[in-house]
Every structure is written in structure tokens, then in C-alpha cells.
Structure 1
Amino acid sequence: MTTCTDYIRKNTETSPLTQSRIDAEAGSLKTAFTTYLTTSNNARAADKASLKAERSGLSSVPSARGSDKTGPDTMPLSETASYYAGSSALAIAREIVSFQVPSGAWGKNMVRTGVVRAKGQSYIGSNIDPNGSGATDWNYVGTFDNAATTTEIRYLAKVQAAQSTDRSTFQASIIKGLNAILAAQYPNYGWPQNYPVSGMAYHDAITLNDDAMLNLIKLLREIGTSSNSDFAFVDTTLRNKCAAAAGNGITWLLTNQVRINGKLTIWGQQHDVFTLKPTPARAYEMAALSSSESGKIVKFLMSLPNPDAATRTAVYAAADFFKATQIDGKAWVSGALVSDSSKNSWARFYDLSVYDPTASALAARGRMLFGDFADRHGAASSVYGLIFGSTTAVSAERLTGYAQYNNVAQSLLTSFTTWSASNPKP
């Protein structure tokens, strides 16, 4: 294993949120986190009890709907008002409500067909067992991953704004979803990937991956600032709660931008709930700086009106990082970094101990990292994952099946040129 080209080290599995961790690590937030975990566990138990009650007496359990990563495309958010006023959108909205987990969120990658959920059917795209105790028996039952929950809420909001039929039902579902998002925010202002929390490793980490936390902040901020008329029905009390949660989420982002050798850089893909440092996720995703998610965070920060000194400091520092680590004239295509004069690229992951923007060599400015499954390199079954310093030894599947490089920061740096002209560095 260690003879693989550019092998660096083993990846490790992160720790979930548990009462023992709260007792040992939460400090002054111990009571708040204990209450949070109790509330979450109770909500999860109630979700299971609800499905169990539905299935009682059924001769057979309906098959799960199935899911696909194109699922969000079946809830389009950029159609004309006439679309949302139509019968197809109405049917999809009714289906969305029927699949809402009792605690308020939704499953991910659900393909919406306009067919409502059958009694006893899984709330999510895969089979779940309310009586099971295995890791996969009740997983992602209420999640923010892959734009889940925020997409459903936004779609319902557009339909209720255009329809008179079932409007109150859709509004109630939206409010229930918003309350779930508010309940899911940790006492230190981050959000986990799933709610109720699953107690499964990285799922409980503060999740920036796939823009989960950023999507929540954007939605809550739109509602809290009354900038999205689709949510005009939301009352002042809930609107204020949304504004406060979004503001606290932005504070979390500004507070937890990673420093390396005293210099602000960018953010991790996920951060530990207590140490607040970047933490591993899947076997091929190590604790590291994450360029893709960070690029979108910076774009969001630049969209905020009248940015204060803390926001401007964060943006300038991130822009410096992206300028220093930019790979000119390259694009990631079909598992390879190829020449393309119109594109600049960045590795998805960068080491947490290496950052020197003044170094003459690109490799010395930031150390790129690449992950892979351990079993593809003959590692022992106990090894969680492997980390490499290049893609040379990474398996073909992880090259073609994962974005090892991206160009998210390219448009960011273009926008930064204009933004910085009117927003001076503090």
C-alpha cells in the first residue's frame, strides 16, 4: 500500500455527535447541545413510530420510489408563473407534501412524478425500516444533502404563490420545513448534513459539502430579509427567526475560515461539530481545504450588501488563496487534467498544513490532496481510505467518478476584480 506512487497517509473516519462527545467537548454549550441531541433523537423516534404505525396491518409494504441525482431537476425553480399555476406543478407539489418526513425535512435525489406517496411507503427514495438498528435502515431520512429540503421548500413556495388550490396545505408544509431547518442548526450555528441527526460519522459534521449549509443560509436570508416574494405569507415571528439563523450561519462562516501559518485561506468540505476544524467525510474525502464549496461561499459573501470589515477580510483572503493556487490553462475532463486555454483549475482538496502564497513554485504554495478507497490498493479491510499527493495512483473509477479538480473559482476571481474596486481591503 505505502509503495503506491505519491502515497501520503491513511484517511480516518470522523466522529458523530454523541452525548459522550458533548460531555467531553461542548464546554459552555454542553446544556444547549444536550437539549439539541435529545430533541433530535425524539424527533427521529417519532418519525420511526409514524411509519411503523402506517405499516401496521398492511399485507405488504409498498416499494420505495427510487432516486436519482437528476431528482432536483424534476422540481424546476426557474419556470414561468404559468408553469407553477398548471396542473403538472400542482401534482408535483402534492407529491412533495406527501413525502415530507414528519419531522419536517425531505429525502434527497427524489424524482418527482406527480404521484403521491402510498401509505407505508418510504419517505425517501430507498427502503427504510423503522424497526431496524443497522446503519442503512434509517439513513438520510431528512437531509440537506444534494439541495434536498431547500429545493422542495422553494418549489412549494412558487406553486402556492401561483395556485389557489391547496395553498394553505403547501404553506403549512413550507412552515414545517422551515422549522425543521431552524431546529437543525447547531448551538454553535453550523448545520449537519441530516436532521434529525443520524449519529453516523460525517453525517453529523457541519456540512459545507454540496453547498448544504450555504443553501440553508441563502434560503433563510431571503425569507428573513423579505427579498423573495414567494414567501410573503411567512409571518413576522418566523421571518425574524429565519433572519437570525441566517445571520448566525454567516457568522459561523466568517469565524471558521481556516488559518494556515497565520494566514486565512478557505474552508473545509465539512467541519467537526466541536473542534470546528475540517474533518474527513467519505473514505476518499480527507480533512482538507475544499476549493469548490469555498468558491461558492466567497461568491455568496460578495453578494452581501454593504459588507463589513470581517466579510471583506474573508473575501480578500480567499481570493489570495485562489490566485496563489490557480492552475493556468487546464480543465478536468473525463478523469484527466487537460490543456484548455480558456480554463483555470484548482484541486478539490488542499493540505491543512501547507500554504505559502509567496512561494515561486505552485506546489509549494498549497499541497494538493487526492483520496481513494483503500481496497483498490490492497489495503487491509480496517483501513478507511487512502490519501495521495497526485492522481497517479488514484483508481480509474475515482478519477472518472469524482471531480478531483474544478474551476469554480475562475468566475469568482473575475467578479472579485469588480467587487474589490468598490469594497477596499480592511
Structure 2
Amino acid sequence: MARAFKATGQGEYKSAFLKGFDHLLAAQYPNGGWPQYFPVSKNYHRHITFNDGTMINIMQFLDEVIEEPAYDLIDDEHLLRTRKALERGIQCILECQIVVDGERTVWCAQHHAETLSSVLARSYEHPSLSGAESAGILLYLMDLPEPSPRVIEAVESGVKWFDLAKMNGYRYQKGKELPSLIADQDAPPIWARFYEIETNRPMFSDRDGKIVYDLDQVGDERRSGYTWYGTWGTKVAKAHAKWKK
């Protein structure tokens, strides 16, 4: 809508953009997190959602609003609200980082809307350390132009966790057959989608909510219909090497 207004000058595009933008800012909790849906529901959608990049995508968009000329329709009051929303969002990310035995690790896919603790989302998405969502969070933090000491600490802790959690000697094979882990000494490192918080053990689940520790024990529907392993940590390691320079 903002780009359409810039191209045409038609006021209805500006009005539509500002209506949606105000909705986005209003959706943020006072603690800095965003729910999956707004207005909030009573189920898991109300919790702070990192799942599938939801909150990080919102914050990246707000960064674009501040930086890109396409959004110069935004007035000073909206810009101030946007900057404050980003500050609260970053603080929320830092507060959500899970601490295990006194060590900061990474994040869950969803965190409680009030307590910020890790929470269940869908029945097969348990409180856990997330290899997928945490990668996106770390990439965002490393992209901040002037990271605070607290952000630097969060990044270093998260990168350390990714290094400890990586799996060598296997590739995640998806195709016509059921997805499975195949021994392959030449394969790049992979990471599980979810790790048990207390043990750092890869964990899986079916729609019945039962936790298992072997992908082969997941039913065909969820085994094929969900991404249980990925190379997410590779991007983290590459970005960190550049970030440290």
C-alpha cells in the first residue's frame, strides 16, 4: 500500500497502509512480544510467536519502515512509536532467551504472553529449544547496527549453543519416501527442529502430543508433513564469522 501510494499519490492507499500499520503496532504486548494473531485469542495463538519467523518478520518490516524512502508517508509520531516498538521487541527477545544450568542457550518457537517461559503451541510443538526459529533470531540480532553488550552476550551464547547442538555424519533425506536420517560422513552439519530443554536431546512428536526421541517413531502424516531437521545453524555460523570481524 505504501508503494502504491508513492507511485500514484492516491489517498486511499495511504489510508489503507496506516490502518494496517496501526493494527500491527497495537498488536504488540507491553513486554515487547507479538502474538500470532490479533485481536488475541484464548488458545496458543495468543502467545509470543517466533514460530516460522513471525515476530522477526514483523521487526524486520518495522526496520524497513524507518530506513526505506518508500515509507516516507509515515509521520514523526508513527516513527517514534515504531522505534519504541523495536526497542521493546529487542528487549523481549533478550528476556525470552532460555537459561539452562546458568547458561543462556536459544529460544522456543513460542513463549508465554505474560511470563515469557517456553510454551506448547500445536500438539507436536512442545516447549523446547528451537533450532529453526533460534537461527532467525540470531541472524536478526547480528544485523543490528549498534548491538548493546546484552545483545552481544545473547548472540555469543546462542552461537555457542548451535555449535554444541550440531549433528555431523548424517543428512536429512526428504523425497518420495518417508523423511529419514541417512548416515553420510560427507554431509554438512544439521540441526533438529526441537531439542529437549533439560537434556539438549532432539525430540519429536505426533498430533497426539506424545514426545519421542527417534524420527522413525513419528507417524507418517507428521513425519512427512513437518520439517524435523535442517541446516539452519550453517547460516548462523557464517553470519557470526562476518559479524566478529
Kindly indicate whether residue 241 of structure 2 is the aligned counterpart of residue 407 of structure 1. Answer: no
Per the alignment, residue 11 of structure 2 pairs with 168
Q: Closer, same or farther in 2 for the Cα pair 1:229/1:256, shift >3 Å?
A: same
Query: Which consecutive unaligned segments of at least 5 residues does structure 2 have?
Result: none
Q: Is the 8 A contact 1:331 1:345 kept in 2?
A: yes
Kindly indicate whether residue 135 of structure 2 is the aligned counterpart of residue 295 of structure 1. Answer: yes
Separation of aligned partners in 2, 1:275 and 1:340: 42
Q: Closer, same or farther in 2 for the Cα pair 1:353/1:183, shift >3 Å?
A: same
Q: Is the 8 A contact 1:331 1:407 kept in 2?
A: no
Per the alignment, residue 214 of structure 2 pairs with 390
Query: Which consecutive unaligned segments of at least 5 residues does structure 1 have?
Result: 1-155, 355-365, 375-384, 422-426
Aligned match of 1:205 in 44, 47, 65?
47
SS in 1 for 2:156: helix
Kindly indicate whether residue 181 of structure 2 is the aligned counterpart of residue 337 of structure 1. Answer: yes
Measured against aligned partners, the alpha-carbon deviations of 1:1-37 in whole angstroms (never above 9, x if no partner) come to xxxxxxxxxxxxxxxxxxxxxxxxxxxxxxxxxxxxx
Q: CA deviation at 1:261?
A: 0.7
Separation of aligned partners in 1, 2:12 and 2:231: 41
Kindly indicate whether residue 1 of structure 2 is the aligned counterpart of residue 159 of structure 1. Answer: no
Q: Is the 8 A contact 1:269 1:293 kept in 2?
A: yes
Identity of aligned residues (%): 32
Separation of aligned partners in 2, 1:244 and 1:410: 32
Measured against aligned partners, the alpha-carbon deviations of 1:396-420 in whole angstroms (never above 9, x if no partner) come to 2211110011111111101211212
The one-letter amino acid paired with 1:417 is A
Per the alignment, residue 239 of structure 1 pairs with 79
Q: Is the 8 A contact 1:278 1:288 kept in 2?
A: yes
The one-letter amino acid paired with 2:201 is R
Q: TM-score, normalised by structure 2?
A: 0.93
Per the alignment, residue 33 of structure 2 pairs with 190
Per the alignment, residue 347 of structure 1 pairs with 192
Measured against aligned partners, the alpha-carbon deviations of 1:127-172 in whole angstroms (never above 9, x if no partner) come to xxxxxxxxxxxxxxxxxxxxxxxxxxxxx233333x216x321111
Separation of aligned partners in 2, 1:345 and 1:174: 40
Q: CA deviation at 1:392?
A: 2.3
Separation of aligned partners in 1, 2:61 and 2:239: 22
5 Å matches for 1:10-49?
none
Separation of aligned partners in 2, 1:158 and 1:293: 30
Q: Is the 8 A contact 1:193 1:203 kept in 2?
A: yes
Aligned match of 2:150 in 310, 327, 335?
310
| Runs of 4+ off more than 6 Å | none
Separation of aligned partners in 2, 1:399 and 1:157: 41
Measured against aligned partners, the alpha-carbon deviations of 1:90-121 in whole angstroms (never above 9, x if no partner) come to xxxxxxxxxxxxxxxxxxxxxxxxxxxxxxxx
The one-letter amino acid paired with 2:101 is N
Separation of aligned partners in 2, 1:220 and 1:317: 26
The one-letter amino acid paired with 1:397 is E
Q: Closer, same or farther in 2 for the Cα pair 1:309/1:397, shift >3 Å?
A: same
Separation of aligned partners in 2, 1:221 and 1:249: 12
Separation of aligned partners in 1, 2:37 and 2:187: 38
Q: Closer, same or farther in 2 for the Cα pair 1:420/1:329, shift >3 Å?
A: farther
Separation of aligned partners in 2, 1:229 and 1:333: 43
Aligned match of 1:373 in 189, 193, 207?
207
Q: CA deviation at 1:342?
A: 5.0
Separation of aligned partners in 2, 1:341 and 1:158: 46
Q: Is the 8 A contact 1:157 1:171 kept in 2?
A: yes
Measured against aligned partners, the alpha-carbon deviations of 1:168-187 in whole angstroms (never above 9, x if no partner) come to 21111111111111111112
Q: Is the 8 A contact 2:25 2:85 kept in 1?
A: yes
Per the alignment, residue 165 of structure 2 pairs with 325
Kindly indicate whether residue 19 of structure 2 is the aligned counterpart of residue 179 of structure 1. Answer: no
SS in 2 for 1:190: coil
Kindly indicate whether residue 62 of structure 2 is the aligned counterpart of residue 220 of structure 1. Answer: yes
Q: Closer, same or farther in 2 for the Cα pair 1:336/1:160, shift >3 Å?
A: farther
Q: Is the 8 A contact 1:208 1:214 kept in 2?
A: yes
Q: Is the 8 A contact 1:221 1:247 kept in 2?
A: no
Measured against aligned partners, the alpha-carbon deviations of 1:369-400 in whole angstroms (never above 9, x if no partner) come to 101022xxxxxxxxxx1111121211122111
